[in-house]
């Protein structure tokens, strides 16, 4: 799986450096999506030992979820154009 200049030497692979074997951000997103509840995020047992004591069971939400998203200028123009086209 890798070449070395020495005949029987073992090869050190890059994925052993800085957790590059898996896409860390994708793993974090998957954990957040799977363990999300109404009040917060349940911490899986496998990683609870690495969390601060107050967050070993659940990470609570600190802000309420936004109900309405603000419209961008482009979205507003598109809606206005749709209304104009429907009126014609």
Whether this model's pTM surpasses 0.75:
no
Q: According to the model, what pLDDT value does residue 64 have?
A: 80
Predicted confidence (pLDDT) per residue in 2-25, tens digit: 565 666 667 666 665 666 667 778
Rounded CA-CA distance 72/70 in Å is 6
Predicted confidence (pLDDT) per residue in 22-80, tens digit: 777 888 899 999 999 999 999 999 999 999 999 999 999 998 877 666 667 778 888 88
Q: According to the model, what pLDDT value does residue 16 have?
A: 57
Determine contact, residues 58/43, Cβ cutoff 8 Å: yes
Rounded CA-CA distance 71/67 in Å is 13
Q: According to the model, what pLDDT value does residue 2 have?
A: 57
């Amino acid at each position: 799986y890798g070449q070395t200049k020495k005949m029987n030497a073992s090869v050190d692979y890059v994925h052993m450096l800085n957790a590059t074997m898996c896409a860390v951000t994708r793993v974090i997103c998957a954990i957040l999506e799977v363990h999300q509840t109404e009040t917060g995020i349940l911490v899986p047992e496998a990683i609870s030992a690495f969390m601060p004591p107050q967050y070993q069971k659940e990470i609570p939400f600190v802000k309420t979820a936004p109900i309405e998203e603000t419209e961008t200028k482009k979205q507003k123009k598109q809606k206005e154009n749709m209304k104009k086209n429907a009126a014609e």
